[in-house]
């Protein structure tokens, strides 16, 4: 395909899709696009609970990649949807998402695949790759996170030093957790998202999204606000899943993904991180790059969590380079 380096590829549609039964009553939506004989790549979306977006397909050369996208449990087109209070969140955990990815790989007959994704997606990518390093060919991550409790504490408390007005409102949304540590505040939001009262869930969703948007308010983006601009059902699923995961430290031992980064030896990685990412400060990407011998870190001056043109170019260049590897 004729293509200008550093430019996104034209929109494409899936040539195959389906629902994967992963047990415990959950069905995970998946789709495949690009070249059926191309290099396999898996897109791992963020959130947790954002769902996969069609925009992610445009980072891959459709002539050279077989691109797989999926909606993690409880969001997007997967069922049961977390916006439904009847959906049981006990079956939505990090280890189950890793197992779902493995089931999908086997279902699609893929031996090894490149992993791409940022923010929460990078946490899930690293957790999967450290458990199944023999199934990963390369990794490309914009906006590195490892969901350490220290990172969660920064996002849901520490960043309040920069946005005190917004943090006071976020904190006031759960007055029952007054003067409690960050995990208790997040657990209070998680409990509200389990309420049978739709007004309680709607209020908690609005308060959570307002805080997330505040942390991104210094960044340049087009369209509606990244969190509160989502459709209501998608918003509620996102907040319910986020509060569930973050109040439990994503069921990861503190620091385990960086501590175990030696398991990634031999897997080429490209990390792209904005210097002014207030949602996930650069220190995490820096520490990961030092611990992972085959990773290269590109710092984008002036960029934040959402990235921008320079971030996109760095990701596209990495994916184009790995396409022929």
Q: Please list the active-site residues.
A: 119, 277, 305
3-state percent breakdown (helix, strand, coil) of the chain, nearest 5:
45, 15, 40
Tell me how many degrees the CA angle 140-208-181 measures, rounded to the nearest 5. 90
Write the CA distances from 219 to 141, 296, 308, integer angstroms. Answer: 19, 25, 9
Please count the helices (runs of H) and the strands (runs of E) in the chain: 10, 8
Phi/psi of residue 193, each to 5°?
A: -75, -10
Beta bridge partners of 297: 271
Helix (H, G, I), strand (E, B) or coil at 3: coil
Beta bridge partners of 137: none
Which tokens go with 40?
Answer: 């396999």
Tell which residue, 215, 238, 218, 231, has the closest CA to residue 160.
215
| b/e code 245-280 from CB counts within 10 Å (16+ = b) | bbbbbbebeeeebbebbebbeebbbbbbbbeebbbb
CB atoms within 10 A of CB 55: 9
């Amino acid at each position: 395909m004729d293509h200008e380096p550093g430019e996104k590829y034209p929109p494409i549609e899936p040539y195959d899709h389906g629902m994967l039964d992963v047990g415990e009553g959950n069905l995970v939506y998946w789709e495949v696009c690009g070249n059926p004989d191309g290099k396999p790549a898996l897109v791992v979306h963020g959130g947790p609970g954002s769902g996969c977006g069609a925009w992610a397909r445009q980072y891959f050369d459709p002539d050279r990649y077989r691109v797989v996208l999926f909606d993690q449990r409880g969001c997007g087109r997967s069922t049961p949807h977390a916006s439904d209070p009847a959906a049981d969140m006990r079956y939505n955990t990090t280890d189950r998402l890793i197992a779902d990815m493995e089931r999908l790989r086997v279902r699609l007959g893929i031996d090894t695949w490149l992993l791409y994704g940022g923010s929460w997606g990078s946490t899930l990518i690293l957790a999967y790759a450290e458990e199944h390093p023999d199934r990963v060919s390369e990794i490309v991550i914009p906006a590195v996170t490892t969901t350490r409790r220290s990172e969660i504490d920064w996002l849901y408390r520490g960043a309040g030093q920069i946005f005190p007005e917004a943090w006071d409102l976020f904190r006031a949304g759960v007055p029952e957790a007054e003067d409690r540590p960050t995990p208790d505040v997040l657990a209070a939001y998680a409990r509200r998202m389990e309420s049978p009262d739709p007004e309680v869930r709607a209020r908690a969703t609005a308060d959570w999204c307002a805080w997330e948007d505040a942390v991104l308010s210094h960044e340049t983006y087009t369209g509606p606000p990244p969190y509160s601009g989502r459709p209501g059902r998608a918003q509620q699923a996102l907040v319910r899943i986020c509060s569930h995961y973050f109040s439990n430290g994503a069921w990861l031992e503190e620091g385990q993904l960086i501590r175990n980064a030696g398991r990634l030896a031999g897997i080429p990685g490209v990390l792209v991180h904005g210097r002014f990412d207030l949602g996930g400060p650069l220190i995490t990407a820096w520490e990961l790059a030092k611990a992972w011998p085959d990773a290269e870190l590109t710092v984008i001056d002036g960029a934040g969590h959402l990235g921008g043109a320079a971030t996109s170019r760095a990701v596209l260049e990495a994916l184009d380079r790995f396409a022929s590897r």
